[in-house]
Amino acid sequence: MDNNSLRRQLSPMHVWAIAFGCVIGWGSFINPGKKFLPNSGVAGTTIAMILGALVMIIIAFSYAYMVPKYPNAGGEFSFAKNTFGKHMAFLCGWFLVVAYLTNVPMNSTAIGLIVDGLDGSADILKFGFHYNIAGFDIYMGEMLLSMAVLIFFGWLNMIGVRKAGIVQTILSSLLVTCVFVLFLSAVFSAKAKGVNMQPIWGFDKAAAKAAGAVTADIPKYAHTGTAGVLSAILATFAIAPWAYVGFDAIPQAAEEFNFSFKKVSFIMMIAIVFGCFVYVSNNAVAAAALENWPERVMAGDWVLLIAAEELLGSFGKVLIGLGVSCAVLSGIMGFYLASSRLMYSMSREGYLPEWFGKVNEKYGTPRNAILFCILVSLSGPILGREALGWFVDMSAIGASIGYFFTCASTLKTEKRDGDGSAFLRAMAITGIGFSLAFMILQLIPIPGLSGVHFGKESYIMLVIWVLLGLIFYMKQGKKFREE
């Protein structure tokens, strides 16, 4: 066997677990209070997530067509290289790196929140030196625990993809179980009421908070009218690429499948559908179980944890702790795999330094690429929880660019090879349209639509990432431009 090649050790169940574990991370448990409920309410979030899932399924048809064509680590990067050439492949690959890699530190910042939410007033991690970033206190204890988890799961990825796949399957299965139990408890509990979901389209959190509003005052700040409802839906729909990023981690591990590529589309769709259910269920349960969720949101409380405790007592708290822990750890594991395989592939083609392409001879994993992912991810615990929104935006734009290139590559490849269908062409064209729409919504402020486009910090991070990409492009340019 070539010592610089990857090994085929992943089963269909492993691959589903990787995709689902990437799709569902900290956001499905923490964002109901942080983003979804105030921005979009229960109705807006539900519509946005279902629409987002449908769009991802449309795009998944293009992945299912392209993976058997180019079954190499790198996924969208490989598709772009073989259809649009080396320059566009670098653009696609560089933004995919940020889409995947930002999700690792993003998940790690939730580890401290999990412990903080479960330990009550004990504050067991709030020790040692601390400092403040964007109004959020970062303690040494939280930082050390998060860093330890990042290093441990990076090591698991390094010692063999099959071991990582087994751990990922256990975590994803536990995650699904926790969410279903919480959903059923809300369905059969008298404490969960539809009337509690008001305002169903969300409300202007900043204005209500500035006015010192209580729950009874919230209707004055609710999103209403056509513009209000549209903004509510688009505010969450615009980050659908981030919400579902992870189903496309499947092509990144294509060289390590031990099964037929014909199963790819089914595995992707199951991961997307499960992901949609988790987002919608957690958001609806958080609102239905709490009469005063708007006040809880403005206070910065972890509303889903409080809702679970309201429904199930102490067991609800344990259930959320287990569920979000599995979500965070499976997200870290899955995005380590996706990021490292992408960088390995780009290095192998000369787009990144050769160092990234070294494979561990004993375990058959891209050792140096994983090591780099670990080092970059350690920035999450240092920057703290307020950086979450910035990472979300960066991941969303990177994923949108990856989706665009996959659908565009499908259109070009099926025309060249003559083996497509009218249905596939329609799906690819639709996918291109939605990918462009996501990019426009994320990058361009549109009058009348609030809370949809990037914030200032996200624009700054985007500029830094582009400049860093230009440095790599100039440094490696001679190698990957050679025919």
Q: CATH number of the domain that 386 lies in?
A: 1.20.1740.10
Q: How far apart are CA 378 and CA 369, in angstroms?
A: 15
At 1 the pLDDT is 42
Is residue 4's pLDDT more than 70? no
Convert the pLDDT of each residue in 20-59 to its tens digit.
Answer: 888 888 788 988 988 899 999 999 999 999 999 999 999 9
Q: How far is CA 462 from CA 331, 391, 453, in A?
A: 22, 10, 13
At 229 the pLDDT is 92
Computed over every residue of the chain, the mean pLDDT equals: 84
For residue 358, the enclosing domain spans: 12-481
DSSP 262-298: GGHHHHHHHHHHHHHHHHHHHHHHHHHT-TTHHHHHH
Q: Could you tell me if residue 6 is inside a domain?
A: no
**By mean pLDDT, which of 3-7, 127-131, 275-279, 318-322 is the weakest?**
3-7
Share of the chain above pLDDT 90, in %: 29
Angle at 423 between CA 420 and CA 424, to 5 degrees: 45
The answer to whether the beta carbons of residues 307 and 13 sit under 8 Å apart is no
Share of the chain above pLDDT 70, in %: 90
Where does the pLDDT of residue 276 fall: very low under 50, low under 70, confident under 90, or very high at 90 and above? Answer: very high
Q: Count structural domains, the chain.
A: 1
C-beta neighbour count of 475 within 10 angstroms: 11
Convert the pLDDT of each residue in 100-122 to its tens digit.
Answer: 888 888 788 778 877 877 776 77
The answer to whether the beta carbons of residues 5 and 359 sit under 8 Å apart is yes
More confident residue, 389 or 12: 12
The strand ranges marked E within 285-352 are none
Residues in contact with 180: Cβ distance below 8 Å, sequence separation at least 6, in sequence order = none
**By mean pLDDT, which of 370-384, 420-434, 445-459 is the weakest?**
445-459
Q: Which of 203-207, 240-244, 275-279, 386-390 has the highest mean pLDDT?
A: 275-279
Q: Could you tell me if residue 5 is inside a domain?
A: no
Residues in contact with 32: Cβ distance below 8 Å, sequence separation at least 6, in sequence order = 45, 282, 283, 286, 287, 303, 304
CA dihedral 329, 335, 336, 339 (to 10 degrees): -170
State phi, psi for 10 to the nearest 5 degrees.
-100, 125
Q: How far is CA 295 from CA 130, 158, 212, 213, 310, in A?
A: 28, 45, 10, 8, 16
Where does the pLDDT of residue 350 fall: very low under 50, low under 70, confident under 90, or very high at 90 and above? Answer: confident
Where does the pLDDT of residue 206 fall: very low under 50, low under 70, confident under 90, or very high at 90 and above? Answer: confident
Is residue 246's pLDDT more than 60? yes
Is residue 3's pLDDT more than 60? no
Q: Read off the tokens for 370.
A: 């994983």
The answer to whether the beta carbons of residues 93 and 13 sit under 8 Å apart is no
The alpha helices in 132-289, defined as continuous H runs, are 140-158, 161-188, 205-210, 225-237, 240-244, 264-288
At 284 the pLDDT is 95
Global model pTM greater than 0.85: no
More confident residue, 345 or 273: 273
| 258-276 average pLDDT score | 82
Q: Could you tell me if residue 1 is inside a domain?
A: no
Q: Could you tell me if residue 3 is inside a domain?
A: no
**Residues for the chain: how many in total?**
483
Query: How many whole angstroms from its chain centre is CA 148?
Result: 21
The strand ranges marked E within 24-178 are 130-133, 136-139
Q: Is the dihedral of CA 157, 328, 92, 95 positive or negative?
A: negative
Q: Could you tell me if residue 419 is inside a domain?
A: yes
Q: Could you tell me if residue 7 is inside a domain?
A: no
Angle at 414 between CA 409 and CA 419, to 5 degrees: 155
Q: How far is CA 227 from CA 39, 201, 235, in A?
A: 13, 11, 12
Candidates 342, 323, 375; CA nearest to 114 is 323
Query: How many whole angstroms from its chain centre is CA 203?
Result: 25
More confident residue, 179 or 107: 179
